[in-house]
Structure 1
Amino acid sequence: MSSSGHGHTPAAWTGVIISFIGFCVAGAFIVLNNVPGFWAGMVLIGGGAVVGGLMRAAGLGQEPKRSAKPAVQAQPQES
């Protein structure tokens, strides 16, 4: 189990599931020699990325990592 929580969010799961369905659709239509069906699957793959990104923007994704080290502040110069 990953301690960083990478990908364990509703946005990540939804995006991957939609993209996986698109992959299966595109693969099935390639075997059936159906070009429009293949491109429909490719659109689903891209749609999964878009949906995942929108869900992340809506707050359902992982928070951006913050720097582990605090920023060093400049000391005021004494005159």
Structure 2
Amino acid sequence: MSSEQQLELTPVAVEGHGNTVSAWTLVLLVMLGSIVGCVAFCLGNIPWLIVGLAIIAGGCVAGGILKALGFGKLGSRTKTHS
């Protein structure tokens, strides 16, 4: 490659890359439900396994509701980072 054909690599920030209230709520609840479900599975405790699955489902619902309320990517209540 000659000196005239230098390729310039500059990092580009992705705006709103999952750093929202909606996304973090979803992630935290799914992680909590996964931990509860995995421990319950290892112990053979079916009722707690169902609780873990319910927490995961609740996290999905909560994330969707928060996104609809404007706390998701490009939402009306999401703060922009400059």
Q: Could you state the TM-score of these two structures normalised by the residue count of structure 1?
A: 0.74
Of structures 1 and 2, the larger Rg is shown by 1
Residue equivalent to 1:7 = 18
Matches within 5 A, 1:22-61: 22-61=33-72
Shift of 1:2: 4.8
| Residues 13-42 of structure 1: CA deviation (Å, up to 9, x unaligned) | 011101100000000000110011101100
Q: Distance in 2 between matches of 1:4 and 1:61?
A: 12
Q: Could you state the TM-score of these two structures normalised by the residue count of structure 2?
A: 0.71
The ranges of structure 1 where at least 4 consecutive aligned residues each deviate by more than 2 angstroms after the TM superposition are none
CA contact (8 A) 2:16 2:74 kept: no
SS at structure 2 position matched to 1:8? coil
Query: RMSD of the TM alignment (CA)?
Result: 1.7
User: Partner letter of residue 34 of structure 1?
Assistant: N
